[in-house]
Homo-oligomer: A and B are copies of this chain.
Amino acid sequence: MSAYRPADIGMPLAEVDTPCLILDLDAFERNLDRLKESLAGKSVLLRPHAKSHKCPQIALRQIALGAVGVCCQKVSEAQALVEGGVNDVLIANEVVGAPKLKHLAALAKQARVAVCADDAGNVAALDAAAREFGVTLDVLVEIDVGANRCGVEPGEPALQLARKIAACKNLRFAGLQAYQGAAQHLRKVEERRTAIEAAVAKVKGTTTLLAAAGITCEKVTGAGTGTYLFEAASAVYQEIQPGSYIFMDADYARNEWTESGIPRFEHSLFVWTTVMSRPSPERAIVDAGLKASSVDSGMPRVADADGVEYVKASDEHGVLRLNGAAGYAVGDKLKLIPGHCDPTVNLYDDYVCVRNGWVEAIWPITARGAVW
C-alpha cells in the first residue's frame, strides 16, 4: 500500500480526499450513550459485537462505558482485538481446524477468550488444543433459535453437547450462544418481537433441561441491534451482543422502531465521496462504487439530499439520479450512508473520525480483512 492517505488529523473535512470512511464522533458517542441509557435498570450485561467495527479503539471505548468485553466472529479478529488491548473476547462462532485452534488456545493465555461449539468432534479438538497450551477454554453451546445457520437444536442435542464439554478436562461449559440473526431485519416491530419470543421459548426449554441434569448454565448470550431490548426483557438472556447500533446503516434504518423501546440510533458512519463526472443533467457519477460501499443489503443512500438517489454501483463508480436536484458539480463532495455497515467497514484500513467538520482522529481498523 502506498503512502498516499486520504486524511490527516487536523484537516477540515472539506479537504479530506475520497472515497474514505468517515465516523461522525458526536453521533457515534450519542449512539453509545443511547444504548447505555436504554439498558438502565435492566439486569443484562452488554458485550457489543466487534465484527461491525473491527477496531480496538472502539472496543475499548465500549468497555470504558460499561461493556464486559466484546464478541467477534473469527480467531484472527480476536487476535487483532487482544493485540489492541481488549482483554475479554467471546468468539460468538464455531472455530474449526488445527491452525485456528492452536491460535485460539495461545490467545487464551493472553486474554479471557471464549468460543462456541455445535459439534462433538470439534469439542474434542478444542480440548486437545487447550491441553497442548495448558489452558482452560470457556466453550458455549450454540443453539439454533431460528436463524437456520449454525448451532445444534435446542433441548436434548444442546444438553448432550454441554455434557461433552463439561466432561472435557481442559474445557469449561460457559453457557449458551442463542443469536436470532434472522430476526434483526424483520421490518415490523411485532415480527421481531414474535421471533424473539420463539427464540426465548427455545432457550428456556434448554436451560430447564440443563438445570434438571445438574449442569450449571451461567449465561445465555445473544441479540442484535434490531431486537436487543426484547432479549434484555426476557429474564432468560444474561448478556446481549448488539453491534450495528454504533453506526446505524441504511438497511437497519428501514426497520420500524416506534414502540420497540429501542432508541433511534443516528447514522454516524459515512462514505465520503466526490462527484467525478456530470455527463447529463439528470446523472452525476461519484467516485465510490462496490469497492467503497458494500451493496449486499442494497445501495448506499445519499445523506442530507432529499430526492437524490444512488441507483447503481460498479466497481469504482456510483450513479446518482438527481431527480431535478441542483448542485452536484464535478468536485463537490458528499456523504453516503452505507447499505450495510459491517462489510463496508471491512473495505477500509482506517476510520477518519470527524467532529464539527474537522478530523480529530484516525482509528486503524486493525481487524480489516481478518477473516480466518
- CB of A370 within 8 A of CB of B1, answer yes
- CB of B290 within 8 A of CB of A4, answer no
Closest Cβ–Cβ distance, residue A276 to chain B (whole Å): 5
Give the CA-CA distance A119 to B96 in the complex, in Å.
53
Which residue of A1, A103, A119 has the most chain B CB atoms within 10 A of its CB atom?
A1
- CB of B290 within 8 A of CB of A294, answer yes
Closest Cβ–Cβ distance, residue A253 to chain B (whole Å): 18
- CB of B97 within 8 A of CB of A150, answer no
With both beta carbons as reference points, the residue of chain B lying nearest to A343 in the complex is identified as: B290
Q: Which chain B positions have C-beta within 8 A of A218?
A: none
- CB of A372 within 8 A of CB of B20, answer yes
- CB of A274 within 8 A of CB of B96, answer yes
- A residues 303-325 touching B (CB-CB < 8 Å): 313-317, 319
Q: Taking A276-B96, A313-B296, A315-B342 as contacts, is the C-beta distance between A347 and B369 under 8 angstroms?
A: yes
Closest Cβ–Cβ distance, residue A137 to chain B (whole Å): 17
- CB of B150 within 8 A of CB of A277, answer yes
A2 interface hit (Cβ, 8 Å): yes
Interface string of A272-299 (1 = CB under 8 A from B): 0011111100010101101110111000
A39 interface hit (Cβ, 8 Å): no
- CB of A80 within 8 A of CB of B2, answer yes
- CB of A94 within 8 A of CB of B295, answer no
A152 interface hit (Cβ, 8 Å): yes
Closest Cβ–Cβ distance, residue A191 to chain B (whole Å): 19
Give the CA-CA distance A314 to B340 in the complex, in Å.
11
Closest Cβ–Cβ distance, residue A213 to chain B (whole Å): 22
Q: How many copies does the complex hold?
A: 2
- A residues 17-32 touching B (CB-CB < 8 Å): 17-20
- CB of B369 within 8 A of CB of A349, answer yes
- CB of B4 within 8 A of CB of A76, answer yes
Q: Which chain B positions have C-beta within 8 A of A371?
A: 19, 287-288, 291-292, 316, 347
Q: Which chain B positions have C-beta within 8 A of A263?
A: none
- CB of B119 within 8 A of CB of A278, answer yes
- CB of A119 within 8 A of CB of B73, answer no
Q: Taking A1-B370, A287-B96, A368-B1 as contacts, is the C-beta distance between A279 and B80 under 8 angstroms?
A: no
- CB of B74 within 8 A of CB of A316, answer yes
- A residues 64-98 touching B (CB-CB < 8 Å): 73-76, 79-80, 83, 93-97
- CB of B348 within 8 A of CB of A369, answer yes
- CB of B19 within 8 A of CB of A150, answer no
Partner of A19, one of B93, B95, B343, B372: B372
Please list the residues of chain A having a beta carbon within 8 angstroms of any beta carbon in chain B: 1-2, 4, 6, 15, 17-20, 51, 73-76, 79-80, 83, 93-97, 99-100, 103, 118-119, 121-122, 144, 148-152, 181, 274-279, 283, 285, 287-288, 290-292, 294-296, 313-317, 319, 330-331, 340, 342-343, 346-349, 366-372
Q: What 19 new A-B contacts, CB under 8 Å, besides A1-B80, A74-B316, A288-B371? A: A1-B367, A2-B83, A4-B76, A17-B372, A18-B372, A51-B315, A95-B276, A96-B274, A96-B275, A119-B330, A144-B279, A148-B319, A149-B317, A150-B277, A150-B285, A287-B371, A290-B294, A295-B296, A296-B313
User: Could you give 10 example pairs across A and B, Cβ below 8 Å?
Assistant: A17-B372, A73-B316, A122-B330, A148-B283, A149-B279, A150-B276, A150-B317, A290-B294, A291-B346, A349-B369
